[in-house]
Amino acid sequence: MQEIMRTNDPVLLSAVEALLTAGGIDHLVLDRHMSILEGSLGVIPRRVLVEDGAAIRARRLLVEAGLGRELEPDRSVPE
């Protein structure tokens, strides 16, 4: 699995999940329930992961939706 995004913004997270689902891209959101530990402050970012084979498609989909600036750097490409 590859992390493509992290965010504290629940609206952005919802939009990203809707786009990935509509695009047929399986994804996993980690740290969604950490608000129990942080007192609902929203300081721990939620991480969006996709399968390694779907990462390029997911990134392209989010860039086309105007969310490219929200993406984590692609760690599969050496700098």
Q: Which residues contact 45 (CB under 8 A, 6 or more apart)?
A: 6, 7, 8, 31
**Which pLDDT score is estimated for 67?**
93
Report whether pLDDT(79) > 60: no
Average pLDDT over residues 33-43: 65
Q: Is there a domain that residue 39 lies in?
A: yes
**Which pLDDT score is estimated for 39?**
60
The domain of 6 spans 2-70
Q: Is there a domain that residue 79 lies in?
A: no
- pTM of the shown model: 0.82
The structure tokens 């530990």 sit at 37
Cβ atoms 69, 4 nearer than 8 A: no
Kindly report the average pLDDT of the chain as a whole number: 87
Q: Is there a domain that residue 58 lies in?
A: yes
Confidence band, pLDDT 50/70/90 cuts, at residue 43: confident
Q: Supply the CATH number for residue 39's domain.
A: 3.30.70.790
Average pLDDT over residues 30-41: 69
Q: Is there a domain that residue 75 lies in?
A: no
More confident residue, 74 or 51: 51
Q: Is there a domain that residue 55 lies in?
A: yes
How many structural domains compose the chain?
1
